[in-house]
Amino acid sequence: MAEAVWRSRGRTRRSTRTVRVSVSAVVVTAVVLAVLVVPPIAQLDEQAVDLSMKLQPPSPAHPFGTDDVGRDLLLRCVYGLRISLLVGVVAALVATVIGTLVGAAAAAFGGWTDRVVMRLVDTFASVPHLLLGIFIVAMFRPGVWPVVVSVALTHWLSTARIVRSEVLSLRSRPYIDAAISGGASRWRVTARHLLPGVLPQAGLAAVLMVPHAMWHESALSFLGLGLPAHEASLGNLVQSARGSLLAGDWWPTLFPGLFLIIPTLAVAGLAGAWRERINPRRRSELML
């Protein structure tokens, strides 16, 4: 009887997980197609101002309504998502590369190298990400690439810790001992055995970092330190809608917020499935 109940629960959780992954994949695909296809096909100027149409509520002509100067909010949300996604993907890739190299080097060499590197990581981690990001981006003119640099330089720390932990685990494997006994150098063992072994974990960290970087960019733009105010990033859209929200116009704030929240949940759903796939023990525990 207990075995039947466990099997029933396992099937229910598998079906729920399948639905979650399918919905997440559909949402991510729709987001990617929207940012790649809509701007070239629409051929519309998202900066076009029409004061006679300002703050129009959602309608068939403007499904998301218009902003305080009459610009179509749906088009600006798509353009804003395009910029925010660009910042998130590039910053996540750069941060993952830095974190992977630092974490792998610290664990592979060990000794004082590991201690010094990890103390530096702890020092940087003690400073709040947003505060450090503000300090970095304030040294440049507002733009996309200063934000990318700011996000990348403040988000590699967690990846370095994850990779270091994974490399330390791999160093105890028999095939690593065999390679070292066969005369392989540390560089060769790291490049041929350790780095390939941590790529799944590093890839998962990069995927999870994309929405985090998008939120970081939005926070910087909301504070006026990210992208220029005339560019349609999601942070700028939310920032410019503050006055409209206080006046009772909810749509200029709601839809840019949804464009941030929904892709974040979709990426989290796919990342959860990826985590279960690369960690079979955890997956088997969840199925009980």
Rounded Cα–Cα distance for residues 35 and 31 (Å):
6
Residues β-bridged to residue 272: none
Is 55 a residue whose pLDDT tops 60? yes
Kindly state the average pLDDT of the residues 257-263: 87
Is 1 a residue whose pLDDT tops 60? no
What confidence tier does 6 reach under pLDDT thresholds 50, 70, 90? Answer: very low
pLDDT tens-digit map of 149-183: 888 888 888 888 888 888 888 777 777 777 777 77
DSSP calls for 103-169: HHHHHHH-HHHHHHHHHHHHHHHTS-HHHHHHHHHTTS-SSHHHHHHHHHHHSSHHHHHHHHHHHHH
pLDDT tens-digit map of 28-38: 888 888 777 77
pLDDT tens-digit map of 183-220: 766 677 777 777 777 888 888 888 888 888 888 888 88
Cβ 233 vs Cβ 221: under 8 Å: yes
> Tell me, what's the pLDDT at 283?
46
- CA distances 196 to 117, 169, 182, 202, 203, Å, are 21, 13, 19, 10, 11
Q: Which run of H or E residues covers position 242? A: helix 242-246
> Tell me, what's the pLDDT at 7?
54
What confidence tier does 14 reach under pLDDT thresholds 50, 70, 90? Answer: low
Cβ 70 vs Cβ 52: under 8 Å: yes
> Tell me, what's the pLDDT at 62?
81
> Tell me, what's the pLDDT at 284?
41
Rounded Cα–Cα distance for residues 94 and 218 (Å):
18
- CA distances 279 to 160, 200, 285, Å, are 19, 10, 10
